[in-house]
């Protein structure tokens, strides 16, 4: 193979802007990867998104290729345009052996992308339990916060990864940590209807009356969004049904004003104050419409 041909091969791009070395790494063809490197292909070449050969191999879980690239000095801290490193990709996608290899070679376990999220944040969010355990075992910060203030526990709670939630709690993760909106893991889980996560967090003592920056509790958030199953559970666990946010809205007023009829019916069935008023003097009825308003009128609301 002539030198000019070798150089041309290395520079040739696919319609997806990948060169032949990047494609070989993506497919895990270690023999071809070695041949291309020995022919002079650049081990740090980037596609238009900034992915290097090592990032491709790590993302797709090709351990042998990763080991080879590291052995010849590939930059393990290289990041694509949004700040994703090889370790972040491997952690997110659960490639445990690749994660171990990268960490053993000195990869930064606290590296962050443009969202401020670490490998542990992504492993937690995506339910990669063995990766989470390994990262914690090598000292990854279990309280690391992304730009929005989310910790690994909040990530796992949001994405309904109960086993991760249980593990993080078992090693002492702060269940009362708040994001930039003052939201805890319990609030996020309640907001998104993660019933089993809500139950577990309550069972380990999560504070159900903590308030967000808008002074909403988990019950208020669940009521506003119509998460009936969560509302029923929180009430059964003793959540205060007459709590008020900074505008004076109660769970019933929030449910009524957002048209969450089944939640409205449930809250009224357990004695929620139908006469409660906001700071501006508005009631559940005055802020309702449609079927919710018809229902409130039918039971004598004023």
What phi-psi label fits residue 146: left (phi over 0), alpha (psi between -120 and 50 degrees) or beta?
beta
Q: Which residues pair with 13 in a beta bridge?
A: 19
> Tokens 């740090």 label which residue?
44
Residues 180 and 19: their CA atoms lie apart, in Å, by: 41
Q: Hey, what domains does the chain have and what are their CATH numbers? A: 204-301 (1.25.40.20)
Q: C-alpha angle 5/11/14, rounded to 5°? A: 115
pLDDT, one tens digit per residue, over 151-204 is 999 999 999 999 999 999 999 999 999 999 999 999 999 999 999 999 999 999
User: Could you report the per-residue pLDDT of 198-236, keeping only the tens digit for each?
Assistant: 999 999 999 999 999 999 999 999 999 999 999 999 999
Paired tokens of 202? 């309550």
DSSP assignment string, 203-269: HTT--TT---TT---HHHHHHHTT-HHHHHHHHHTT--TT---TT---HHHHHHHTT-HHHHHHHHH
Quick count: other Cβ atoms within 10 Å of Cβ 145?
20
User: Which of helix, strand or coil describes residue 126?
Assistant: coil
Lowest mean pLDDT among 4-8, 241-245, 255-259, 261-265: 4-8
């Amino acid at each position: 193979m002539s030198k000019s041909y070798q150089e041309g091969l290395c520079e040739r791009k696919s319609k997806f802007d990948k060169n032949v070395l990047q494609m070989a790494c993506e497919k895990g063809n270690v023999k071809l990867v070695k041949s291309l490197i020995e022919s002079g292909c650049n081990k740090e070449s980037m596609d238009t998104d900034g992915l290097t050969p090592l990032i491709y191999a790590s993302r797709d879980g090709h351990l042998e290729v990763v080991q080879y690239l590291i052995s010849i000095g590939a930059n393990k801290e290289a990041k694509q345009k949004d700040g994703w490193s090889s370790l972040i990709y491997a952690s997110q996608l659960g490639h445990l052996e690749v994660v171990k290899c990268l960490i053993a070679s000195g990869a930064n376990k606290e590296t962050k992308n443009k969202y401020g999220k670490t490998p542990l944040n992504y492993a937690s969010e995506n339910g990669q339990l063995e990766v989470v355990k390994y990262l914690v075992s090598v000292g990854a910060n279990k309280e690391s916060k992304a730009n929005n203030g989310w910790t690994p526990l909040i990530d796992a709670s949001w994405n309904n990864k109960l086993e991760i939630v249980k593990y993080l709690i078992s090693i002492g993760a702060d269940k009362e940590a708040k994001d930039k909106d003052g939201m805890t893991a319990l609030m996020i889980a309640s907001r998104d209807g993660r019933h089993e996560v809500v139950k577990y967090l309550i069972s380990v003592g999560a504070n159900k009356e903590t308030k967000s920056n808008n002074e909403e509790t988990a019950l208020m958030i669940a009521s506003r969004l119509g998460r009936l199953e969560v509302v029923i559970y929180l009430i059964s666990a003793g959540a205060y049904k007459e709590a008020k946010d900074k505008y004076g809205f109660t769970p019933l007023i929030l449910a009524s004003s957002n048209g969450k009829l089944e939640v409205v019916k449930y809250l009224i069935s357990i004695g929620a104050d139908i006469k409660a008023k906001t700071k501006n003097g508005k009631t559940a009825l005055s802020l309702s419409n449609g079927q919710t308003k018809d229902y409130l009128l039918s039971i004598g609301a004023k």
